[in-house]
Amino acid sequence: MADSPEVPRIVVTGLGVIAASGGDTNTFFQNMLAGESGICGVTAFDVSDLPSKIGAEIKDFDPTAFMDPKEARRNDRYTQLAVGASQQAIADAGLDMARVDADRCGVLVGSGIGGMWTIETQSRILFEKGPRRVSPFMIPSLIANIASGKVAIDIGARGPNFSVVSACATSTHALGESLRIMRTGDADVMIAGGSEAAMTRLGYAGFCAMKAMSTRNDDPRGASRPFEKSRDGFVMGEGAGIFVLETLEHARARGARIYCELAGYAATCDAFHITQPDSEAVGLTQCLKKALKNARMEPADVDYINAHGTSTQFNDKCETLAVKNAFGEAAGKVMVSSTKSMTGHLLGAAGSVEAAICAKIIETGEVPPTINYEEPDPGLDLDYVPNVKRKADVRVAMTNNSGFGGHNASLILKAFEDS
């Protein structure tokens, strides 16, 4: 039997991040290292009668810096953020789209919710002014696949193009599925990640009704407290994180700078409850184990984990258990931090933003902390890199995310070795 063809190696050549903690990747990452929280009082809508009045709101985003004003008006905020972060990532990669085979360049940008601003504003118009006043751009503005379509139209990418929707695991799945696409030889370049802009009055009302959000309104920067005893819920954020992924062959051919290699991916389901994680962490444990197997690694190979770490009672316990289950004795030696303590929870964009943090950690050798870690919660006893950044030679990083519906996703990034 003939030998199987070699699976292409996939590398990261461009990063784009727009979030409350920074409007570009480098500013954002430096703020993460400094322990600077982007969480403050919400100003974009009336929160006076809502239990949670805080969030990681992007206050200075100008979509016309990335698209024509008319196009900006026709697209939801989540698409605007995706376009902006995609342009940043492409520029960071030094990717000249005129020199890229358009049929082998794909786009996979996910969103957990899609156009929440559009849903809310157009619903108000319908109820107050009637159906004739509803915008003809409402449907293409709100659906969750439009960010992928818009980015592809802008850059002329005719390769694989769709969207992933898996709640808070969305953009981790988007990067992982892009890895699969490229490993099977269907694309040389993928623009991939996630975007979310669900910080609306309706979005807050829904999550507050679930009692999922922090009500530490008098201390916004101290409200997101992953793995800490007094945590009382997540803090919502908004933003986008986009990667340029290339086959190593394609990146080498154009002399690209390489951040790291995307080496492993896995996806599982708890099959347990629509919103609550499995207390035994069976599905998430398997996800971590399968990601390691996919990357051909052992637990001891991993230096750092960027945790889902939402600052909710159930998630932080279950995730800690999953790391212990999957890593065994190595669990006590791996650094684990939750940057949601500073970014808030970006829902569908969380995974790609956190994967970008992993790429920057591998590049710089500096690990952001979990801030607001004051009193340990008994049983949650991993190395959560409390409060202060740490210098470390991180060769392998893992990032994990979970979402409503029981979705789990894990990625492994490793330092690039030109061999």
Residues involved in catalysis: 168, 308, 345
Q: How many residues does the chain have?
A: 419
Cβ atoms of 317 and 409 closer than 8 Å:
no
Cβ atoms of 162 and 145 closer than 8 Å:
yes
Q: Burial of 377 by CB count in 10 Å (0-12 exposed, 13-18 middle, 19+ buried)? A: middle
Collect all residues with Cβ–Cβ distance below 8 Å to 184 and sequence separation of at least 6: none
Nearest to 105 by CA among 94, 113, 97: 97
Residue 356 has which token pair?
């970008």
Longest dimension (CA), the chain: 70
Three-state SS annotation for the chain: CCCCCCCCCEEEEEEEEEECCECCHHHHHHHHHCCCCCCEECCCCCCCCCCCCEEECCCCCCHHHCCCHHHHHHCCHHHHHHHHHHHHHHHHHCCCHHHCCHHHEEEEEECCCCCHHHHHHHHHHHHHHCHHHCCCCHHHHHCCCHHHHHHHHHHCCCCCEECCCCHHHHHHHHHHHHHHHHHCCCCCEEEEEEEECCCCHHHHHHHHHCCCECCCCCCHHHCCCCCECCCCCECEECEEEEEEEEEHHHHHHCCCCCCEEEEEEEEEECCCCCCCCCCCCHHHHHHHHHHHHHCCCCHHHCCEEECCCCCCHHHHHHHHHHHHHHHHHHHHCCEEECCHHHHCECHHHHHHHHHHHHHHHHHHCEECCECCCCCECCCCCCECCECCCEECCCCEEEEEEEECCCEEEEEEEECCCCC
